[in-house]
Amino acid sequence: MKQIVCAACIALACATGAEAKSKRIDSSLDHLDPMTRLEQLCAIETMNRVRKDDKTYRPDRAITYALDKPILDGHTMSGKGGAFRSRGKWYQYSFTCSATPDHKKVSGFTYKIGDPIPEDQWETYGLFR
């Protein structure tokens, strides 16, 4: 179920029209439990930041828990095992993502892109084309 919800939220994040996109994402996130909402919010923020900061990448999916389970501390999620897909390849990333208490807005975010994930490891981590 998480991957289906993730795919829906991520697809919405990639839609055009900033205001409409924001409303659709907010509406989708409202239906999630708080922890899943935080996870999705952080995945969406990853794609937005990577897309904005480095034109080399065009992320269309992000999974905060792909290679390793993230750590939760209150309204902050951090991890070293996130993965995002860009131009048909997956890349590892580490991150710290803080959110408002309702987990609807990001209040702080840092990340670092790591190495590409070899295609022969994708199945191990549940990654897909």
Positive or negative torsion for Cα 51, 106, 17, 84: positive
> How high is the pLDDT of residue 7?
45
pLDDT over 90 (residue 124): yes
- Mean pLDDT in the chain? 86
pTM summary value? 0.81
pLDDT exceeds 70 at position 18: no
CA dihedral 49, 15, 56, 38 (to 10 degrees): 30
More confident residue, 91 or 128: 91
Most confident segment among 9-18, 29-38, 78-87? 78-87
